Structure 1
Amino acid sequence: MRLTCLRGRAPLALTCLLLLVASCRGSLSCASGGAQAPTGPRVYVSNEESNDISVIDPSTDQVVATVFVGKRPRGLRLSPDGKTLYVAVSGSPRAPPGVDESTLPPPDRSADGIALVDVATLELVKTLESGNDPETFDITPDGKHLFVSNEDAALASVVELASGRVTRTVPVGREPEGVTTRPDGRAVYVTSEQDSQVFVLDTSSHEVVARIPTGDRPRSVAFTPDSTRAYIAAEFGRTITVADAREHRVLTTIPIEPASARPMGTALSPDGRTLYVTHGRGKSLSFIDIASNQVVRTVEDVGTRPWGIGVSPDGRKLYTANGPSNDVAVIDAQSGAVLKRIRVGTLPWGIAVAR
């Protein structure tokens, strides 16, 4: 937007100023000396097809900024100190279900990496090595290492944050996807979609120390805050595998209904009492009571293929990334009512919440 204002004409100058302020709302280009991120909690959404991150203010449930990060952003996490947003970006072409992958263009490996966004300025700082086609990852609580799933290569890469380099690669089964660090920082769980297992990596030795069988096509993992239990969502199995996270063994399996459900993303309530599970193409959402391992509520019509999920810092609202409809659903955690749908970028995938 270009404005031409004449000196000495106060009414016109005031009008121009008001127009300029209006045009800058939500824009990163209008702050002098670099953009400043709004203060307070924020919800970050990765938009796989528009190559950017939408920043949502949970107090108003409006998008307040958009940040370019690179090709195909999917998994995203905040650093332990909350100052940096890490985002997995990939040069591999999208391959939706039913697509003949032999017809796709070759991958752009120069685009693979973990992008770093400064939360204070909302600026893309740099991109770290990650191995091929990073999809998701997690950070050790000490902030020293990332563990990254390399979907195309059937590997997990260990990235040393101090150097920004991959220091180790570990075979973890075909099509690794979900990566979650146990809260105590001693183990990392990596799901293998094709092998229907979780590979457990020791964070000190970087070796596989156990394998946990799951339902068909495991997608994500959530741990209880005390590191004693893991909940593993299996898309095609329509189950949640509950595992002893100390001994890495299956305790029980929770079936997920309705029949259309495809368990995808998982998130725990701040009090650790409720597990929330998105259902992908099932367009719904489960509430699971941790004490009983029972589904206590199913919310229908959450959105079109909800995948990523996050919980507001006060635990009152849930946010789901609904890819095909390019929006984020805001759900009341007490009633299950869908309060609002927020337009974001194209093909929203993952969600991270700053507290």
Structure 2
Amino acid sequence: MTPLPPYRRGQREAAIINTISVQGSPNRLVLNNDGSKLYVASSTTPRGITVIDTAKMRVLKMIVEVGSPIWLAMHPTAQRLYASDNSRAAGTPITVIDTSNDTVIEQIRGFTTINGMALNSTGASLYVADDGASQIVAIDTTNHQRISTTAVRYPNDICVAPGNARSHVASVGEHWTGINLGTNQREFQTRTGTGVPTSIAHARFAARVYITYRETRRLYIGDTTTKETSSILNDLLGPFQIAFHTMLERAYLTETDGNQVSIIDTRTQTVTGTIQGFYKPRGIVVAPSGRIAYVANIGNSTIAEVRL
């Protein structure tokens, strides 16, 4: 394992402390609001969402009435999970799950083919990247009706900035788009270089977005103040998804083709270490405490619990 930076010396190194097997091919994952349950999407047979008790690291249930799920969005205040059907069939829905009992309660329709989703910090609005329609759809979560649509060519993933003033979209091709959430109009569009993005996320403690490009082995970092490139990390090993520490200026990047998670100092925008022992890692999420992360290993159908 690569040594961690100086501010971690004298403490235990980040490492995998537990793994649990799940069905299908685990891809993306989210935690509920208190971190007590982990939801894992698998779009291959058996398709569904696996629910894991994080205290005991055991499977509680597999929710199967969800099509071919990949993208997940957890409501920040209500007991509600949104899951997209990524089967690429026309008219795929979003499934709404009540996380108090982990049952399907509704399906939202009217989309073409759905990719990423994101909620604002209050949970009042859900933003959906409808790739097939080349638009971002805003949904009122009180009644699941459309508020607006914004034209964005081939959107792949979306995140909402702290403060809810703007959303950021990573598109297939070469663009990062900023949308004013007061007007639901495009504010800017910045070239990021060609490729298919696998995720976009906004830093917790800086005005930056991070976009991963697995095929071109790049992590693009954009400055949301200047709306220009801040930095690009090249020659990574299949970067897939990034998650931010809840209290420190640090991020964790899964590298699917390198079987590792890289540790990034978000101040200097540099890789400062790696955590080894994964097998084709994809999704990653950091617990509210900042002490634990969970990583989906699509290579061997396991979830790794990682001490940070």
**TM > 0.5 fold call:** yes
The alpha-carbon deviation at position 263 of structure 1 amounts to 3.1
Would the alpha carbon gap of residues 72 and 208 (structure 1) be closer, same or farther in structure 2, given more than 3 Å must change? Answer: farther
* 1:239-275 residue CA offsets vs partner (Å, 9 max, x unmatched): 1110112332211112113x4x443312222224222
Contact (CA 8 Å) 1:274, 1:288: kept in 2 or not?
A: yes
Once residues 190 and 251 of structure 1 are traced to their aligned partners in structure 2, the CA distance between those partners, rounded to angstroms, is 18
Report what 1:165 is aligned to.
Answer: 103
| 1:1-355 to 2 correspondences below 5 Å | 60-90=13-43, 92=44, 108=45, 111-152=46-87, 153=89, 154-216=92-154, 218-234=155-171, 236-257=172-193, 259=194, 261-301=195-235, 303-354=236-287, 355=290
Once residues 142 and 77 of structure 2 are traced to their aligned partners in structure 1, the CA distance between those partners, rounded to angstroms, is 12
**Other structure's SS at 2:67 match:** coil
Once residues 78 and 59 of structure 2 are traced to their aligned partners in structure 1, the CA distance between those partners, rounded to angstroms, is 19
* 1:191-230 residue CA offsets vs partner (Å, 9 max, x unmatched): 12333222222111112322222233x2221111211110
The alpha-carbon deviation at position 314 of structure 1 amounts to 3.5
Once residues 116 and 74 of structure 2 are traced to their aligned partners in structure 1, the CA distance between those partners, rounded to angstroms, is 13
Once residues 59 and 194 of structure 1 are traced to their aligned partners in structure 2, the CA distance between those partners, rounded to angstroms, is 46
In structure 2, runs of 5+ residues without a counterpart are 1-10, 291-308
Higher strand share: 2
Higher helix share: 1
**Other structure's SS at 2:27 match:** coil
The alpha-carbon deviation at position 172 of structure 1 amounts to 4.8
Contact (CA 8 Å) 2:117, 2:159: kept in 1 or not?
A: no
The alpha-carbon deviation at position 79 of structure 1 amounts to 1.0
Would the alpha carbon gap of residues 279 and 315 (structure 1) be closer, same or farther in structure 2, given more than 3 Å must change? Answer: farther
**Other structure's SS at 1:324 match:** helix
Would the alpha carbon gap of residues 163 and 334 (structure 1) be closer, same or farther in structure 2, given more than 3 Å must change? Answer: closer
Aligned Cα root-mean-square deviation (Å): 2.1
TM-score by length of structure 2 reads: 0.82
Once residues 288 and 140 of structure 1 are traced to their aligned partners in structure 2, the CA distance between those partners, rounded to angstroms, is 26
Aligned residues: 275
Contact (CA 8 Å) 2:131, 2:153: kept in 1 or not?
A: no
Contact (CA 8 Å) 1:144, 1:160: kept in 2 or not?
A: yes
Contact (CA 8 Å) 1:224, 1:272: kept in 2 or not?
A: no
The alpha-carbon deviation at position 292 of structure 1 amounts to 1.9
Once residues 201 and 131 of structure 1 are traced to their aligned partners in structure 2, the CA distance between those partners, rounded to angstroms, is 19
* 1:85-130 residue CA offsets vs partner (Å, 9 max, x unmatched): 111123x3xxxxxxxxxxxxxxx4xx23222212212111222345
Contact (CA 8 Å) 1:215, 1:238: kept in 2 or not?
A: no
* Residue identity opposite 1:254 in structure 2: T
* Residue identity opposite 1:148 in structure 2: A
TM-score by length of structure 1 reads: 0.72
Once residues 142 and 81 of structure 1 are traced to their aligned partners in structure 2, the CA distance between those partners, rounded to angstroms, is 10
Contact (CA 8 Å) 1:262, 1:281: kept in 2 or not?
A: yes
Identity %: 22
Contact (CA 8 Å) 2:162, 2:204: kept in 1 or not?
A: no
**Other structure's SS at 1:238 match:** strand
**Other structure's SS at 1:74 match:** strand
In structure 1, runs of 5+ residues without a counterpart are 1-57, 93-107
